[in-house]
């Protein structure tokens, strides 16, 4: 069974339908890149997978559990926010604007989830958090506050913060879009090594190069619907749909 299964996902904001029936499966260990013009609903779909947005129709399962609902007696019960929070423990998310906690150091940001949410011991969590900082190349920045770090460094800490929860799935919402061009590489390197280690990832990105070299599958969204989907070489080098061709002609 796929780790993520989305069937007929619909979402409207007011009278605007942003997602018009998205079907998507992501296998364990698979890296899927969502591409498409802005306003296509890529980020909204990603936020639905984590139940930061509530879907209007359709279903999303993560690891066999319906996101935002509890299945019992042939019915789906909408979850209270407390229980939805419990589901999110298994899904890490990295935001465009990093969203580190500015009043805590890099190390404290990473420790916050395991200590406050999972209730684990500080000493043990601290050792793991230091190892994670090492992994994203920021061992010497443990006691720095987010305001003292560059955008690229902040985003790497944010990735470490998400990894500290030992998630089954990582969601990346345009992780390099808010970065200065020379800082994009360091974040993509961390994401590439994460993909090599077998992490299941859904990545909304405009970095075609990253999609080409790291993604197992590329999904192209336009106006809230999947237009084309396949391996990077199929979709990026040999697009079948005119809408995909137009988009790629502009960004490549």
Secondary structure element (H or E) that encloses residue 6, with its range: strand 4-13
170-229: contacts with another protein (CB under 8 A): none
- Contacts of another protein in 26-55 (CB under 8 A): 50, 52
91 binds another protein (CB under 8 A): yes
The count of chain residues that interact with another protein, using the rule CB under 8 A, is 32
The verdict on 92 binding another protein (CB under 8 A) reads yes
Q: What share of the chain is helix, strand, coil (3-state, %, to 5)?
A: 40, 25, 35
**CB-hemisphere CA count at 13 Å for 29?**
3
Q: What is the distance in angstroms between the CA of the first residue and the CA of the last residue of the chain? A: 35
Cβ 24 vs Cβ 227: under 8 Å: no
Query: Applying CB under 8 A, which of residues 112, 174, 186, 207 lies at the interface with another protein?
Result: 112
Task: Identify the CA nearest to 202 among candidates 189, 190, 217.
Answer: 217
User: Helices (DSSP H) in 2-137: which residue ranges?
Assistant: 42-49, 81-88, 106-112, 122-135
88 binds another protein (CB under 8 A): yes
Q: Report the nearest approach of another protein to the CB of residue 159 (Å).
A: 12
- Give the nearest distance from C-beta 95 to another protein in angstroms: 6
In the set 97, 122, 166, 196, which binds another protein (CB under 8 A)? Answer: 97
- Write out the residues near another protein by the rule CB under 8 A: 50, 52, 81-82, 85-86, 88-89, 91-93, 95, 97, 99-103, 112-113, 116-118, 145-148, 158, 161-162, 164-165
């Amino acid at each position: 069974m796929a780790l993520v299964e989305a069937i007929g996902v619909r979402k409207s904001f007011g009278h605007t339908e942003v997602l018009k029936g998205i079907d998507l499966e992501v296998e364990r260990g698979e890296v899927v890149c969502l591409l498409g013009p802005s306003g296509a609903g890529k980020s909204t779909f990603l936020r639905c997978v984590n139940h930061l947005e509530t879907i209007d129709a359709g279903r999303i399962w993560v690891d066999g559990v319906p996101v935002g609902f509890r299945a019992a007696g042939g019915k789906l019960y909408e979850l209270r926010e407390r229980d939805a929070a419990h589901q999110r423990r298994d899904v890490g998310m990295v935001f465009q604007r990093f969203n580190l906690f500015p009043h805590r150091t890099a190390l404290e940001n990473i420790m916050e989830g395991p200590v406050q949410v999972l209730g684990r011991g500080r000493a043990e969590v601290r050792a793991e958090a230091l190892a994670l900082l090492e992994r994203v190349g920021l061992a010497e920045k443990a006691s720095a506050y987010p305001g003292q770090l560059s955008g690229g460094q902040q985003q790497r800490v944010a990735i470490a913060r998400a990894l500290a929860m030992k998630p089954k799935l990582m969601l990346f919402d345009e992780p390099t879009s808010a970065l200065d061009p020379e800082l994009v590489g360091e974040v993509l390197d961390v994401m590439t090594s994460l993909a090599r280690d077998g992490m299941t990832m859904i990545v909304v990105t405009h970095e075609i190069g990253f999609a080409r070299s790291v993604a197992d599958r590329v999904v192209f969204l336009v106006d809230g619907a999947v237009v084309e989907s396949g391996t990077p070489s199929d979709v990026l080098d040999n697009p079948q749909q005119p809408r995909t061709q137009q988009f790629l002609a502009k960004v490549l």
